[in-house]
Amino acid sequence: MPRFKHLKKTSLQALVHTTDLYSVLEDESSVASMPMGSERMEMRKRQMSVHQEAVSGTQAQQGVGNRGSNACCFCWCCCCSCSCLTVRNQDDERTRRSSNEIRGHGIPKWEDSPSPTLEDVYSWGQSFDTLMTTPAGRNAFREFLRTEFSEENMLFWMACEELKKEANKNVVEEKARLIYEDYISILSPKEVSLDSRVREVINRNMLEPSQRTFDDAQLQIYTLMHRDSYPRFMNSAVYKNLHQSLSESLAES
């Protein structure tokens, strides 16, 4: 806006200068009583030349001003915007890469463990705690939970166990964020069932995430699996088939 005012002022000054020049020249011509011959025509040509130069000078200044303004706008729009987009894209890519790396080192599809013995399988039927402390027991229980479309309960519990082992503060915060997105958020397809009190505790803890952010939620899900899923697991085909297979192998040997 200030540039426009300056150009407008320059144009007005040029126009005033040209008008004054006409007045002076006409006054001189009237005073000198210049004849209508070649001298009068020559004076008129000089007047027109002065006027054209003044107008051309004003247009040139306007053109330079507009080009400068457009150039600045072009540079600001393109250079600055591109730079901002580049930085933002790089930050987003680093965040996605970090999240994927942490997820990639998270819970395996199946835990490595030696094949369970008949005694192991029998002990699972005696104690839910024993079932949950052995990799083979967790694998068998996960297989059953998958048939009930509730595997997320075990995955959440295992994710909390992994979080407790982490010492790096930055990794703890990132893992806590991923656990929240995967299992706590109401927008997640793997959301676990928690009461409002526990959710409030989690939301407060997420202000400063730590290894113990989800302790209350983990205990609630553990209790849910113990009381609800575990009895059905003991009567399921998954458990019975495993028990029968090991019994037959032992009898054949």
- Contact criterion met (CB below 8 Å) for 162 and 107: yes
Give me the pLDDT at residue 20, please: 47
The 3-state secondary structure of the chain reads CHHHHHHHHHHHHHHHHHHHHHHHHHHHHHHHCCCCCHHHHHHHHHHHHHHHHHHHHHHHHHHHHHHHHHHHHHHHHHHHHHHHHHHHHHHHHHHHHHHHHHHHCCCCCCCCCCCCCHHHHHHHHHCHHHHHHCHHHHHHHHHHHHHCCCHHHHHHHHHHHHHHHCCCHHHHHHHHHHHHHHHHCCCCCCCCCCCHHHHHHHHHHCCCCCCCCCHHHHHHHHHHHHHHHHHHHHCCHHHHHHHHHHHHHHHHC
- Identify the architecture of domain 118-252 in CATH: Orthogonal Bundle (1.10)
- Interval 19-67: pLDDT, tens: 444 444 444 444 344 444 455 455 555 655 655 555 555 555 555 444 4
Q: CA 46 to CA 74: how far, in whole Å?
A: 42
**Contact at 8 Å (CB) between 165 and 213?**
no
CB 184 within 8 A of CB 192: yes
* Residue showing tokens 């839910």: 128
Domain residue spans of the chain: 2-103, 118-252
C-alpha to C-alpha distances, 160 to 40, 47, 168, nearest whole angstrom = 102, 91, 15
Q: Is the pLDDT of residue 206 over 90?
A: yes
Contact status, residue 130 vs residue 123, Cβ threshold 8 Å: yes
199 has a pLDDT exceeding 80: yes
Q: Which residue has the higher pLDDT, 184 or 56?
A: 184
- For position 252, what pLDDT does the model report? 83
pLDDT of residue 71: 44
Q: Which of 20, 18, 6 is nearest to 54 (CA)?
A: 18
